[in-house]
Structure 1
Amino acid sequence: MFNHENFSFEIWLLGQNKQTQKHYWELLQQSDWKAYPISTNPHEAIIQHCIVANPNFEHLEELTQQIEKEALAFIQEIAKIFA
């Protein structure tokens, strides 16, 4: 998602509903997992992570590649913990 306030692209891990989100937030809080910072507020998101700060929209190809690379790395890391 694009955060207009911070002018950055972010990726968030959310639950299907508030109950599920809180459950997985608590699991991560109790674990020793440190790959990405866990949100301080389980009602907003489980994880909120900036993948591109101050994106350069004049180089869309590079920006797209950077977003894809960071998003895939995030997905792979999340998949490890929930596998």
Structure 2
Amino acid sequence: MENLNKYISIYKEQLKKGDILIAYNELVKFVMKLRTDFIKSLSDHYSFTGILHGYLDFTYFYYSNDFLKSKKLKFGLILNHMEMRFEVWLLGNTKPIQQKYWELSKNTKWNKDKTEMPKYSILESIIVKNPDFDNLDKLIEQIETQMMKASDEILDYLKTLN
């Protein structure tokens, strides 16, 4: 990459201002709280993994149940930093599994506008497009409701493939 020093200089400048660092840390803490709350409220539906940090692009955790595990699939609750929205992704445990389920779901409503498989997932569902981070309790409730709705809908679809 040309001019990497230039990009690093800009990066350092932005970090010194502090706003990006504060926002990123608060967003990660919020996703951690979501996971903790969901373990308490949804453990009868799903098991949850630890938080994963992307490259300032995504913060996420996986969740799954016996049905998904039997198909070598899992869900991800994703905070998409670039779009600043929450999404549910269906993912495969391996690339061949992802490719198999992409072929089976490329004509669904989730993939209707896509001509190729998403980079990291089989399908993606936007669940909260414009999160209000000034009302975290309401946002947690909204994310949980929409996550469960999207997950149930995707599971229902997957069960038709058997």
- The verdict on a shared fold, with TM-score over 0.5 as the criterion, is yes
- State the distance in 2 between where 1:42 and 1:19 align: 14
Q: How does 1:7-22 map to 2 (within 5 A)?
A: 7-22=84-99
Query: Compared with structure 1, are the counterparts of its residues 60 and 25 closer, same or farther at alpha carbon in structure 2 (3 Å cutoff)?
Result: same
In the other structure, the counterpart of 1:58 is: 134
Q: Provide the C-alpha distance between the structure 1 equivalents of 2:119 and 2:83, rounded to a whole number of angstroms.
A: 20
Equivalent residue, structure 1, for 2:145: 69
5 Å-filtered alignment, 1:23-38, equals 23-29=100-106, 33-34=108-109, 36-37=110-111
Question: How far 1:16 moved relative to its partner?
Answer: 0.9
Amino acid at match of 1:12: W
Q: CA deviation at 1:41?
A: 1.9
Bigger helix share: 2
The list of structure 1 runs, each at least 4 consecutive aligned residues, that deviate by more than 4 angstroms after superposition, is none
Partners of 2:118 and 2:129 in 1: how far apart?
Answer: 23
Any stretches of 5+ residues in structure 1 without a counterpart? none
The sequence identity of aligned pairs, in percent, is 36
Indicate the RMSD between aligned Cα atoms, in angstroms: 1.8
Q: Which runs of 5+ in 2 are unaligned?
A: 1-77
Deviation at 1:17, TM superposition (A): 0.7
Instruction: Answer 1 or 2: higher relative contact order, Cα 8 Å, separation at least 6.
Output: 1
Largest Rg, 1 or 2: 2
